[in-house]
Structure 1
Amino acid sequence: MSQLGEIQQAILNDDLGAVASLDVPESYRGVTVHKDEAGMFEGLESRDKDPRKSLHVDDVPTPELGPGEALVAVMASAINYNTVWTSIFEPVSTFKFLERYGRLSPLSKRHDLPYHVVGSDLSGVVLRTGVGVHNWKPGDEVVAHCLNVELEGPDGHNDTMLDTEQRIWGFETNFGGLAEVALVKANQLMPKPDHLTWEEAASPGLVNSTAYRQLVSRNGADMKQGDVVLIWGASGGLGSYATQYALNGGAIPVCVVSSPEKAEICRKLGAELIIDRNAEGYKFWKDDDNQDPKEWQRFGKKIRELTGGEDPDIVFEHPGRETFGASVYAARKGGTIVTCASTSGFMHQYDNRYLWMNLKRIIGSHFANYRESWEANRLISKGLIHPTLSKTYALEDTGQAALDVHRNAHQGKVGVLALAPEEGLGVRNHELRAKHIDGINAFRNV
């Protein structure tokens, strides 16, 4: 049996104490993009770029373990938009990130390779820890958040997201979670929620923490009870957590979706105010260069019809170019537009009169710090927020999983099995699981 096979068997047999005595494998399978293929999609529109052509499953050497780091045997991972961006080499090739990181120190030089092992989520078991790691040991069942920071300068010590060397693991660093083994900093680790399977536990990390900071944290919109929250893509990987946080926090979500099926998911979560933007036929852009303010007005009128005359206190933004003008218009006077992404385009346009004359605010929000991620994971562990996993693929089929997300042909989150041989494994707390099984399965088979 191979070294990885022995590790896998020990985990599946719940013999976690044996993990420390097993040899770390010299290599493992990881999902990669290749530096010499960075130009493969030149001349194609984004929608025509196919992640199945650029994402490979390669046997790669296990990286050297440095101080403050951990090697994790990955049982499962998940797809995020950053993996899609990596796979289609937009907006830039991620090898530029790896080259820049490689210049930082001799240790970070490990990341500057002709291949990039991608992925910013994982659940698994700690294999080894480096010098200076005290809170984690081999055999611990963990999930990982994706904030990679150096914290050698002063800027990040009030909020680690402001560290000058802040990066997203598996996107701006190498050795990510879509693999059988991953390298993380120890301060990325958090306890695996014990009522979830490996694939369920792997799916919330990036999007759950992002939604928590963007909506709940003082660093984001600082949502309060009774706030009307407009949520774009409310059944998607990110928006589904925003919808849960709004409902869990006593706010009033207005869920924007693109189909009756996605509307039904929001109803299953408990939302009542829903806009099917395709059914309503909103076209915020007349052409590639000009937006249609009359459509903003029609959209705002629809929101007020649903809320009894109230405009949104908070707009949860992530589509970007396509919706941003409407978002700035729709927010109430003194309201907040909080943005964490631009999946439809990075160059935003809006009418600034609606911003400055109505004292609105635009807040940029990017992932979350360790404390925010820990709090978000704690809510998952207590069954107050649920994973939104809808479908799981094998590691070999990661390209198809990424294509699903690229084409918005998915609901919630799409998972990927690594060392877990099948779905449904890894549950420790069956009593808590039974209590929340409907919420856990809300996105299944949709």
Structure 2
Amino acid sequence: MDDVYEAVVNGASSEEMARLSPPSEYLAAYLRAEDTEMFAGVQDKDVRKSLHVGRVPMPELAPDEVLVAVMASSINYNTVWSAMFEPIPTFGFLRRFGRQGGYAARHDLPYHVVGSDGAGVVVQAGSGVRHWRPGDHVVVSPAYVDDQEPATHGDGMMGSNQLAWGFETNFGGLAHYTVVRASQLLPKPAHLTWEEAASNTLCAGTAYRMLISERGARIKVGDVVLIWGATGGLGGYAVQLVRRAGGIPVGVVSSPEKAEVLRRLGCEVIIDRNEIGMGGGEPASPEETIEIGKRLGRRIRKEVGEDPHVAFDYIGRATFGVSVFVVRRGGTVVTCGSSTGYQHQFDNRYLWMNLKRIVGSHIANLQEKAECNRLFELGYLAPMLSTTYSLENVAEAARLVQKNEHIGKVGVLCMAPEKGLGVTDPAMREKIGEDRLKLV
């Protein structure tokens, strides 16, 4: 192991850290450009065959960037898409980014270090970085934005050069080190372990923007919110946010085991997909979509007494038509992804004639991330971490998510030698309680 690794693991001071030079290469999970056609004609695109772990060269640091020693990361579905080379290989993103020239050219490589979550320690800061220094404990926002673009200052997510770190950029979080812009960093909640903190950055912030932000559904006290995949990474945070906002979460799950997790999250209205005829996946026809929507609507009205104000939908093709149908007149469907497919079908009559809205949402800007991070610091939100793998076994972790055999978030230890490290405020952790922090 290199000197920086030893210093980080042993909790070296800021002054000690600043004196060390980063290694010339580091351990990372990556994809290879030469493999992009490996799944052509293959039905089971097993990501264990495409994700590699090995040493890669350390990139040069730009003036507005920070080198972070990644203690832990987690698996998001964008890493699964990346490793399947779907819907397109991410090397196209890297080539397009690289064409900007300058420091962007570093990203266009024949390998792609993936991962869009991370918690770790600042090792080195570029000459233009003002608010961070070596030794700081941080979490990384996946929103990689251009602060010299005017639209970014209205909303970081509206800049045309906004990218998803570790998906549309190189040097992602599933590694011992990552290079990020200073505008991606937030303080790590001091009472959380490395793996707990690393499991929150993408999904919790995304759910916050979708539900709480003025750019999303803007839920209020008493709102009924239908949450598909309510024990997934996104769904579990959505349940917590709806409850904290004074709303009524209606969680949809696929098994009794997941229903039990929902109960621990405090979700009182729980619906099994099998009960409404969705056990086999997406509806077979537009007519079946409407029938499922009617069954779901009757079930929600039986439990709550009214139709949902909002549908929280990241599932995509399998659920979207039902979401559009089932929300009330003037209701909102908010979407941030499509894990079951991007091509959605819905009956537009139920949208326009009932004055419903569809809101597209993507990650979160830094202010929204900071507000969400504050909720973790206060103990109002808890991690959805269910299991943790080593970096060497990252492909198995990604396969678990690919097959939807996980609950909540799947963590990955990167530089952290074992679970349970990184807590610097044990009093706050004791105040919140271990049972409150172990929801999954």
Partner residue of 2:22? 24
Question: What's the CA shift string for 1:31-68, capped at 9, x where partnerless?
Answer: 000000001111123xx111110000021010000011
Matched, 1:35 2:33: yes
Question: What pairs up with 1:71-86 in 2 under 5 angstroms?
Answer: 71-86=67-82
Q: CA deviation at 1:346?
A: 0.1
Question: What's the CA shift string for 1:194-253, capped at 9, x where partnerless?
Answer: 101111111100001000000000010011010000000011110000000001110000
Matched, 1:356 2:362: no
Matched, 1:113 2:121: no
Give the Cα–Cα distance (whole angstroms) in 1 for the partners of residues 331 and 42 of structure 2.
39
Give the Cα–Cα distance (whole angstroms) in 2 for the partners of residues 86 and 304 of structure 1.
40
Partner residue of 2:401? 405
Give the Cα–Cα distance (whole angstroms) in 2 for the partners of residues 288 and 36 of structure 1.
39
Partner residue of 1:44? 42
Partner residue of 1:241? 237
| Structure 2 CA distance for partners of 1:285 and 1:261, relative to 1, 3 Å | closer
Runs of 4+ in 1 over 6 A off after TM superposition: none
Question: What's the CA shift string for 1:379-414, capped at 9, x where partnerless?
Answer: 111111011100000001110100100111001000
Give the Cα–Cα distance (whole angstroms) in 2 for the partners of residues 248 and 67 of structure 1.
39
Preserved CA contact (<8 Å) 2:286 2:346: no
| Structure 2 CA distance for partners of 1:288 and 1:173, relative to 1, 3 Å | farther
Give the Cα–Cα distance (whole angstroms) in 2 for the partners of residues 285 and 402 of structure 1.
23
Matched, 1:167 2:163: yes
Partner residue of 1:88? 84
Letter in 1 for 2:160: T
Give the Cα–Cα distance (whole angstroms) in 2 for the partners of residues 334 and 411 of structure 1.
32
Question: What pairs up with 1:11-410 in 2 under 5 angstroms?
Answer: 11-17=8-14, 18-45=16-43, 48-282=44-278, 285=282, 287=284, 291-308=288-305, 310-410=306-406
Partner residue of 1:10? 7
Q: Secondary structure of the residue that 2:152 maps to in structure 1? A: coil
Preserved CA contact (<8 Å) 2:258 2:407: yes
Give the Cα–Cα distance (whole angstroms) in 2 for the partners of residues 352 and 22 of structure 1.
60
Give the Cα–Cα distance (whole angstroms) in 2 for the partners of residues 433 and 148 of structure 1.
31
Preserved CA contact (<8 Å) 2:65 2:126: yes
| Structure 2 CA distance for partners of 1:423 and 1:286, relative to 1, 3 Å | closer
Question: What's the CA shift string for 1:276-333, capped at 9, x where partnerless?
Answer: 112443367553787442222112111111112x100011011010001100000000
Letter in 1 for 2:386: S
TM-score, with structure 2 as normaliser: 0.97
Give the Cα–Cα distance (whole angstroms) in 1 for the partners of residues 196 and 13 of structure 2.
20
| Structure 2 CA distance for partners of 1:194 and 1:284, relative to 1, 3 Å | closer
Question: What's the CA shift string for 1:122-175, capped at 9, x where partnerless?
Answer: 111001111210100011011100011113332222101000100000000000
Alignment RMSD (CA, Å): 1.3
Question: What's the CA shift string for 1:5-43, capped at 9, x where partnerless?
Answer: x32332333223221111111100110000000011111
| Structure 2 CA distance for partners of 1:158 and 1:386, relative to 1, 3 Å | same
Give the Cα–Cα distance (whole angstroms) in 2 for the partners of residues 353 and 74 of structure 1.
49
Preserved CA contact (<8 Å) 2:75 2:115: yes
Give the Cα–Cα distance (whole angstroms) in 2 for the partners of residues 425 and 12 of structure 1.
9
Gaps of 5+ in 1: none
Preserved CA contact (<8 Å) 1:284 1:291: no
Letter in 1 for 2:251: C
Letter in 2 for 1:277: R
Identity %: 53
Aligned pair partner of 2:436 in 429, 432, 439 = 439
Preserved CA contact (<8 Å) 1:31 1:57: yes
Gaps of 5+ in 2: none
Q: Secondary structure of the residue that 2:153 maps to in structure 1? A: coil
Give the Cα–Cα distance (whole angstroms) in 1 for the partners of residues 49 and 332 of structure 2.
40
Letter in 1 for 2:330: G
Give the Cα–Cα distance (whole angstroms) in 2 for the partners of residues 420 and 259 of structure 1.
33
Give the Cα–Cα distance (whole angstroms) in 1 for the partners of residues 149 and 9 of structure 2.
42
Preserved CA contact (<8 Å) 1:32 1:55: yes
Give the Cα–Cα distance (whole angstroms) in 2 for the partners of residues 134 and 106 of structure 1.
22
Preserved CA contact (<8 Å) 1:151 1:165: no
Give the Cα–Cα distance (whole angstroms) in 1 for the partners of residues 431 and 276 of structure 2.
37
| Structure 2 CA distance for partners of 1:199 and 1:264, relative to 1, 3 Å | same
Give the Cα–Cα distance (whole angstroms) in 1 for the partners of residues 51 and 74 of structure 2.
14
Q: Secondary structure of the residue that 1:424 maps to in structure 2? A: coil
Letter in 2 for 1:298: R
